[in-house]
Structure 1
Amino acid sequence: MSFNNQSKLIVMPQPSQLVIASTYIELLLNHFSLVFLILGTIGFLGNCLIFLHPKVRTNTCSIYLLCSTISDELDLVLNLLPNYLSMYGYSIPYVTTSSIMCKFIMFIRTFLPQLSVNFIILALIDRFACSYNLTSKWFLG
């Protein structure tokens, strides 16, 4: 029985290459919020065009989904945009004004994502309720 004891040469990058790679990664991570903001706005506009179409807007499920989209866009604008601008030295005056305003901003930062999820849950409940008859065993208990 023979063992194949071949060694492999592992080439480690030079420290200067690691610094350059970490710089690129840092720049990429800093601009993710801008990319998410742009893609989210494009998605928001697309959803508005779809859900405000005359044939679709009479459906209550589409209204819930449109409200969820509006809540998501507000979340992007109120949460991601100030964080992105603060990286470049632009101050955000409504955050640093008073403790009451700071508490309100923290409330908005947690409320808007939850509101979006709640609208999606309402849309699911609406679709579930519309798909069963009133005489179904689900409604009779």
Structure 2
Amino acid sequence: MLDRNISETLDHISIQVNRYFSIFIFLFGTTGNILNCLVLSRPSLRSNPCTFYFLISSIANIISITCGLTSRILSGWNMDLTSTNAFLCKFRAFIMLVSRSIAFWLIALATVDRWLLSSYRHQRRQYSSLKNAQQGTIAIIILSSFLYCQVLYCYDANMILAPLRCYGKTIICRLVTDLTYALVTILCPLLIMCIFGLMTISNIRRIHSNKSTQSKLLDINDNNKKTIKPKKQKRKRIDRYLRHVLFVQIIFLTILTIPQVIEKLYTTLTMNQRKSSLNVTIEEFIYNIVLLLTYLASGMPFYIYTLSGGNTFRNALTDLFKTK
């Protein structure tokens, strides 16, 4: 009797969370990412390769939130067609997983770009270019689509013994999809972000240690310095801002996505164990909560860019509203 009451309570909470918190994240995330796209497309920012990664990542986040959260919201009122329609189930899962993979990997590439730009070696800094950013983005889109093409076969509607009604139809399918998502889409990009983030900090410290020597070299020709100083200072200010917000974004991505990785790995490893109905309900409840946290992570970039890293983004946002 107690187990049934707990199960009913958790089911009720899950329904309410899907109904109302999903709507909040949807409005919060889509509005923020649309504003991101408008601001990052401005001439003062769009020529920067890191900004280009942020821009395409924001577009991918819009797609991920739209495809993923609409079904979450509708499921709160038992109106989710992806739960019963096989085609919609496969299409929605494929687009959502691919777009999320693209968004995460582009942030990882942005971290690599910051490392290249902060390098004391001129040859490495040359790799930080808009052309390379565009080529890297195309490669990520193609690889992400190829990575999740198995979803078009594996996913099916009307699944009963699964966290969602639209889920992998066999144990092997669930194993492949869950591990691909946890390891390739989440953990690998986060690992790259952390490694190259630390390497970027190391480069910055090295640059600061040689700052006195570099300033002496820059003072050789005062006339040339006066000519190039304003543009150079503006570029450095933008690079410093992008580096700062990138580090803040990595922290929030890690906090909000690691719980789902843990849940995915646990569910996969205990897939063949016999579980009580209460345990299944608890796992489904946890799945719903950590799933919404990942959508929250996809909706946060605009607010991170606005609230951290100085006035660069805020000034561009103000100019955008003035123009409109």
Residue 120 (1) aligns with residue 107 (2): yes
- Specify the alignment match of 1:76 in structure 2: 65
Residue segments in structure 2 that go unaligned for 5+ positions in a row: 1-8, 125-324
User: Cα distance, 1:86 vs. partner?
Assistant: 3.1
One-letter identity of the residue aligned with 2:58: T
Deviations 1:90-121 (A, max 9, x none): 342697144xx644433333222221110001
1:50–1:131 Cα change, 3 Å? same
Asked if 1 retains the 8 angstrom alpha-carbon contact of 2:40 and 2:51, the reply is yes
- Specify the alignment match of 2:17 in structure 1: 29
- Specify the alignment match of 2:33 in structure 1: 44
One-letter identity of the residue aligned with 1:119: L
Residue segments in structure 1 that go unaligned for 5+ positions in a row: 1-20, 137-141
C-alpha distance in 2, partners of 1:84/1:111?
A: 21
User: Cα distance, 1:62 vs. partner?
Assistant: 0.5
1:61–1:114 Cα change, 3 Å? same
Asked if 1 retains the 8 angstrom alpha-carbon contact of 2:63 and 2:96, the reply is no
User: Cα distance, 1:65 vs. partner?
Assistant: 0.5
Asked if 1 retains the 8 angstrom alpha-carbon contact of 2:60 and 2:99, the reply is yes
- Specify the alignment match of 2:93 in structure 1: 106
User: Cα distance, 1:36 vs. partner?
Assistant: 0.2
- Specify the alignment match of 2:122 in structure 1: 134
C-alpha distance in 2, partners of 1:95/1:59?
A: 45
Deviations 1:117-140 (A, max 9, x none): 10001111112112222367xxxx
- Specify the alignment match of 2:47 in structure 1: 58
- Specify the alignment match of 1:3 in structure 2: none
Q: In structure 1, the residue corresponding to 2:79 is in which secondary structure?
A: coil
One-letter identity of the residue aligned with 1:118: W
Asked if 2 retains the 8 angstrom alpha-carbon contact of 1:95 and 1:105, the reply is no
Deviations 1:25-68 (A, max 9, x none): 56751311110000001211221222011110011110101111
C-alpha distance in 2, partners of 1:59/1:72?
A: 20
Asked if 1 retains the 8 angstrom alpha-carbon contact of 2:54 and 2:107, the reply is yes
C-alpha distance in 2, partners of 1:38/1:61?
A: 26
Farther-moved stretch of structure 1 (37-46 vs 80-89):
80-89
C-alpha distance in 2, partners of 1:27/1:93?
A: 17
C-alpha distance in 2, partners of 1:67/1:94?
A: 30
State the TM-score, normalizing by the size of structure 1.
Answer: 0.66
Decide which of 84, 87, 91 is 2:76's aligned counterpart.
87
Larger Cα-atom Rg: 1
One-letter identity of the residue aligned with 2:49: T
- Specify the alignment match of 2:253 in structure 1: none
One-letter identity of the residue aligned with 2:45: V
1:134–1:34 Cα change, 3 Å? same
